[in-house]
Amino acid sequence: MATLLIDLRMVRGRLHGIARYALELARRLPALAPDLHFAALAPPEGLPTDLGELTPRMPVHRALAGFLSPWEQPALAADLARLSPRLFHATSFSLPLLWRGTLVATLHDANHVALPENYSPAQALYYRAIVGPRARRASALLTVSEFSREELARHLGLSPYRIQVIHNGVDARFQPPSASEARAFRERHELPARYVAAVGNAKAHKNLALLRHVAPELPVPVVLLAGRGAVAHELGLHENVVDLEELPESDMPLFYGAAAALLLPSKYEGFGLPALEAMATGCPALVADATSLPEVVGNAAVRLPPDDVQAWKDATLRILRDEPQRRELIELGRERAARFTWDDCAVRTLATYRRALATTPG
């Protein structure tokens, strides 16, 4: 039986949104299509051993070279020649330039070319010289938001009609924790009884430097989860900011659900999964009114100009003090998040596979 190969080479360390996307598809697709044979392409060192429920239910093959490594393209061509898939789903920004088989590609955003200051000239060149040209020849192109579709079309010279939008989802385990579960989580990580959550990294477009001005004005600390320790120090976020070390994936619903609110001031997001996941756990979200975030949260979150420090201070204080508004946002947020499911994402992606297979010889 011909194999449909799903790229999981980016799954390493803390699970960012793209890794989550690839894993959520991989865990669902085999059950949805028992007539098809699925396999996964993992990093050379294999997949992390602590994925739990996200562990793919399919054969896993180790790649010859790491994701976006200097030898990636010839190694990926060799992997695909060795495994001979009927279809390859490139689930991130790494597309096989030297392979001519049936390719479905998901491009999550145009970050690499829209924000070149975040990347080296070599990385921007890779995106323009490899990703753009190969995307034009893909059997199907997917992205995760209308905003990203417009950005990809504009920056890569693609027709927007070639790009299908399939939204990300929220896993069912993102639910409001009980009071005892939230308390146990806070005690385990030595967190205060009340805190405001923030996520991101030190890149300028994540806009975490805003916290330097907001956090000192709050009556509770901001607990920052930014992929590693010392980000608060790197950004000068010392006062009233707790820089949390890595959390296991199983603790993410508790991190959001135990918080009084989530601050997501990012100026550029292809989707904005943390906002939805927080809302699903009953955590009110305050997000930047920019890029894909309004599309994702609708009117179920507080949307603020990303550079208006006073607006972020005032809105956060209102959430902390105004219990009726907080309860309303919790209800709206949970209703909004329930519209986005990984099951729907997987079903629609499978339909894309079948169309691509039907229109290409093999």
Q: What is the pTM of this model?
A: 0.93
Report the distance separating Cα 224 and Cα 288, nearest Å: 17
Strand ranges in the chain using DSSP code E only, listed in sequence order: 3-7, 37-42, 60-62, 87-90, 102-106, 140-143, 163-165, 196-199, 222-225, 241-244, 261-264, 285-288, 302-304
Strand ranges in 179-268 using DSSP code E only, listed in sequence order: 196-199, 222-225, 241-244, 261-264
Domains 3-169+341-358 and 179-337 share a fold: yes
Question: What is the per-residue pLDDT for 259?
Answer: 98
| Crossing angle of helices 17-32 and 342-358, rounded to 10° | 70
Q: What are phi and psi of 338, to 5 degrees?
A: -65, -15
Predicted confidence band at 141 (pLDDT cuts at 50, 70, 90)?
very high
202-234 pLDDT per residue, tens: 888 999 999 999 999 999 999 998 866 556 667
240-258 pLDDT per residue, tens: 888 887 788 889 999 999 9
Take residue 90 and report the two structure tokens written for it. 């490139």
- Nearest to 20, CA basis, from 58, 49, 56: 56
Report the distance separating Cα 256 and Cα 277, nearest Å: 8
**Residue 309 pLDDT greater than 60, yes or no:** yes
| Average pLDDT value over all residues in the chain | 92
- Return the CATH number of 179-337, one of 3.40.50.300, 3.20.20.370, 3.40.50.2000, 3.30.300.160: 3.40.50.2000
Report the distance separating Cα 20 and Cα 171, nearest Å: 10
- Nearest to 149, CA basis, from 269, 268, 270, 266: 270
Domain map (residue ranges) of the chain = 3-169+341-358, 179-337
**Residue 127 pLDDT greater than 90, yes or no:** no
- Nearest to 126, CA basis, from 171, 72, 80: 72
- Nearest to 52, CA basis, from 17, 91, 11: 11
CA distances from 252 to 163, 171, 220 (A): 31, 11, 20
Report the distance separating Cα 322 and Cα 181, nearest Å: 24
- Return the CATH number of 3-169+341-358, one of 3.40.50.1970, 3.40.50.620, 3.30.70.360, 3.40.50.2000: 3.40.50.2000
